[in-house]
Homo-oligomer: A and B are copies of this chain.
Amino acid sequence: MQLNRNFLRLKNSYLFSAVAERTAAYRKAHPERRLIRLSIGDVTRPLAPAVVAAMKRAADEMGRSETFRGYAPSGTRMGYPSLLGTIVESYARKGVALGEEDVFISDGAKSDCGNLSDLFSADNTVLIPDPVYPAYLDTNVMAGRRIVFADGTEENGFLPMPKRDVRADLIYLCSPNNPTGAAYTREELKVWVDYALENDAVILYDAAYEFFIGEEAFARSIYQVEGAKQCAIELCSYSKTAGFTGVRCGYTVVPRELVREGVSLNRLWERRQAAKFNGVSYVTQMGAAAVFTEEGERQIGEAIAYYRENAALISDVLARLGIPFTGGKNSPYIWMKCPQGMDSWTFFDYLLNNANVVGTPGSGFGRNGEGYFRLTAFGTHEDTAEAMQRIAKLLEA
């Protein structure tokens, strides 16, 4: 019996678990203090009424034999046609033509992001931005792949571009980026697509935050760039779009045009999912299908506007304090430089102890994150305002 020894090469603890543990310890030691969490990217606005109504209708259907539903339909990538239809239409509104067969429904972008690893040999070289959401790195360490980094720095606005002398087979991109909030324009993404095509590489494009993009120049889908269907898989989520962090639904586009070594990756992923997955709750899928209706979009638009106000408030306070930051505009994340030359975990503790505000240490997102700190716009107005007041008071002093 041999364990997968690659696990032993993982850093000791998953970033968000580490933050949660340290926060819980503080809470226990100081039960009287009210902590405000601007840390994990969890949402706080309730589900849209249209979504709740659709879920309750679906639950009722599941309680009657005539309308009960078992396993998700086969031959449709486990998605109910009514849900797949809304996704294909939402792409059409972005100018992207997809077929329902290109779209796979899942229990969230995080699952697919990790599980897609199954399709590729351990011998590939993986290119991962730094800083970025740590799951890309961890899942590839688990798979034992060679990893190279694309450095995001203050100089390039945390938007690394490909280097001709770096060869990569799998490329992770996240735009708007978690944690830096920086987003690629269509022109910048085109450079990545061309690089991938030249290198016969596959891009795994995490579009979880695309709904926060307000400016036309930025890509809302990598398929808005010519050639992307031949080299990119796109991961999408209802988590931040519609507050589904606790509902669990996402969708992944594996275009039929994406072929490597003569094999369709769409077919390969279908095969992987048929053996290791069994679809998403009918109740959840009906809730998700309500998201891209006219009523649903209006309602989720309100939640996104709410978070945008938080992002603007955080940005304003940081600007007033003269603290450099990125994000906050086309993104729910604000990536700030730690003041007074503090490192990320020192600032974490400083903020926790002196302002009772929880953020996320930038160093958890990669080497280039050291000295930076992530705040999120997903709290309530009241909490966000109070947290920023506390931060201002602390840092002005």
CA–CA, A135 and B51, complex, Å:
34
Chain B residues lying within 8 Å of A263, measured Cβ to Cβ, are: 3, 7-8
CA–CA, A51 and B199, complex, Å:
52
Chain B residues lying within 8 Å of A93, measured Cβ to Cβ, are: none
Contact A1 B201 (CB under 8 A): yes
When all copies of this chain in the complex are counted, the total is 2
How would residues 278 to 293 of chain A score, 1 for a CB under 8 Å from any chain B CB and 0 otherwise? 1111111001000000
Report if A52 contacts B (CB, 8 A). Answer: yes
Most buried by B among A21, A59, A62, A268: A59
CA–CA, A4 and B278, complex, Å:
21
Chain B residues lying within 8 Å of A74, measured Cβ to Cβ, are: 16-17, 20
How would residues 55 to 93 of chain A score, 1 for a CB under 8 Å from any chain B CB and 0 otherwise? 110011011110011111011000000000000000000
Contact B121 A3 (CB under 8 A): yes
CA–CA, A68 and B49, complex, Å:
12
Interface segment, A107-115, A212-220, A365-373?
Answer: A107-115
CA–CA, A65 and B20, complex, Å:
22
Report if A170 contacts B (CB, 8 A). Answer: yes
If A14-B271, A20-B75 touch, whether A70 touches B43 (CB-CB below 8 Å) is yes
Contact B283 A247 (CB under 8 A): yes
Chain B residues lying within 8 Å of A68, measured Cβ to Cβ, are: 44-47, 243, 246
Report if A185 contacts B (CB, 8 A). Answer: no
CA–CA, A17 and B75, complex, Å:
8
How would residues 188 to 220 of chain A score, 1 for a CB under 8 Å from any chain B CB and 0 otherwise? 000000000001111000000000000000000
In the complex formed, the residue of B with least CB distance to A119 is B4
Report if A320 contacts B (CB, 8 A). Answer: no
Q: Which residues between 270 and 329 of chain A lie within 8 Å of chain B, taking CB atoms? A: 271-272, 274-284, 287
Chain B residues lying within 8 Å of A283, measured Cβ to Cβ, are: 55, 59, 247, 281, 283-284
Contact B4 A62 (CB under 8 A): no
Interface size classification for chain A: 35 or more
CA–CA, A7 and B5, complex, Å:
22
| Distance in Å: Cβ of A41 to nearest Cβ of chain B | 9
Partner of A276, one of B46, B111, B243, B280: B111
Partner of A248, one of B45, B55, B278: B278
CA–CA, A51 and B61, complex, Å:
12
How would residues 1 to 33 of chain A score, 1 for a CB under 8 Å from any chain B CB and 0 otherwise? 111110110100010110011001000000000
Contact B64 A59 (CB under 8 A): no
In the complex formed, the residue of B with least CB distance to A120 is B4
CA–CA, A280 and B63, complex, Å:
20
If A60-B52, A275-B142 touch, whether A71 touches B121 (CB-CB below 8 Å) is no
CA–CA, A286 and B118, complex, Å:
31
Most buried by B among A16, A63, A113, A119: A63
Kindly list the 7 A-B residue pairs having the minimum CB-CB distance in the complex, ordered from nearest.
Answer: A114-B276, A52-B63, A2-B121, A42-B70, A70-B245, A14-B274, A1-B169
- A residues sitting closer than 8 Å to B (CB atoms) are 1-5, 7-8, 10, 14, 16-17, 20-21, 24, 40, 42-49, 51-52, 55-56, 59-60, 62-65, 68-72, 74-75, 107-108, 110-111, 113-115, 118-121, 123-124, 134-135, 138-139, 142, 169-170, 199-202, 243, 245-248, 260-261, 263, 268, 271-272, 274-284, 287, 380
8 residue pairs of the A-B complex, CB under 8 angstroms, read A1-B124, A7-B268, A16-B274, A49-B63, A62-B247, A107-B280, A139-B275, A248-B281
